[in-house]
Chains A and B, each alone.
Chain A
Amino acid sequence: MACIEARGLRKAFGTTVALDGVDLKVDEGRIVGVIGPNGAGKTTALNAILGLTSYEGELKVLGHNPWRERDRLMLEVCFISDVAVLPRWIRVGQVLDYVAGVHPQFNRTKAESFLAKTAIGRQRRVRELSKGMVAQLHLALVMAIDARLLVLDEPTLGLDILYRKQFYDSLLHDYFDGTRTIVLTTHQVEEVEHVLTDVVFMDRGRIVFQCSMEQIESRYLELAALPERALSAREFQPFHERQGIGRTMLTFDTARHPVDRQRLASMGEVRTPSVADLFVAVLSQQGQMAGGTK
């Protein structure tokens, strides 16, 4: 069953169109990274999925209409929207009590054992914790909830590298079991790409690219060629080109223009493009196309 199914999702704030006809299907058991520049509509899309905002179009999350059934949906969906949304006045013990009080899928023992690995005391108030500790606490709460979908919107923004790494490590090793679905957005793409099974690129309220990581590996190539070799590599019609230090980087979509990998390898180093590089390539191509149609 599809975990998320959206068709023609639209949302406008006054004259600003935040979502401009989004079609999205996410199957269960995937870890999807939604990547896009600021203002691309990522948060609005996630908010619609979580029932936090109204929308036009069709949307089903685990079979529910999120806008009408947010409270029911939250029995099976967890989310961390931004860091530091835990109420600052609450004590660690109180937040555990509260979640145990209202959430039937919450396993308090599990949350306590996550917290035992941290320096977070039960009597401390959230306002007394460091930003990293608040993120740890929130993650401990969320991981102890037996949910089917976890949505993370910039969950590590402003955290230092140690906390960020720890965050995604726990997520992958202690939480993800292959049946749950995770949808996340982050600006630190390079830190999560090894975790993802799928990527979705968004720009100006639309999904401009959607692909699984396996597909990226088999379909896209990046060549780091010496500038003088770059010319001959262009015969394979790269769809994006950029200058590195002493190297020209060319990105190829082998599904559209087949390449001779051996010849390419003779021109420089061939590898799978990183998600960040592919994102830049896809977006600049989109920009060119948009410019061309003007």
Chain B
Amino acid sequence: MNRRTATTVGRAREEVTRLWATPGYRTDYIDQHGATVAFKDAPGDRGTEIHVDLDGEGRNGRGGMLRRFEGSTGLAKVKDELRRFKQRVETGVIPRSDGAPEGESAERKIKQRPAQPLKDSELQKAGG
């Protein structure tokens, strides 16, 4: 099973790699699962490509079995983190809707809220 994904962020490589290492932009799941991350200049004015391989250390490498066991859920989490990183870098915010008040998240895709404003208690839970 292919567990690679990529996104393009509209900033120069130096800035993208610097922000990738900045605490406020953390990509915890990717960091904690031994994924291989590669940065590459995108063509033209497109910025920087970020390539993530969740089987980074090889299918038989350290933790390989565990990572395979997590299957597509793991890849969905990686995609979430890449989208949130891109959103954060390009727009300064993580877009949040009424249906997905925490922003892009694999868990929320399965269990959406109705698209109507949150009650105060829900708002607190979703991070103010």
* Interaction A to B: no
**A contact residues vs B (CB 8 Å cutoff):** none
**B contact residues vs A (CB 8 Å cutoff):** none
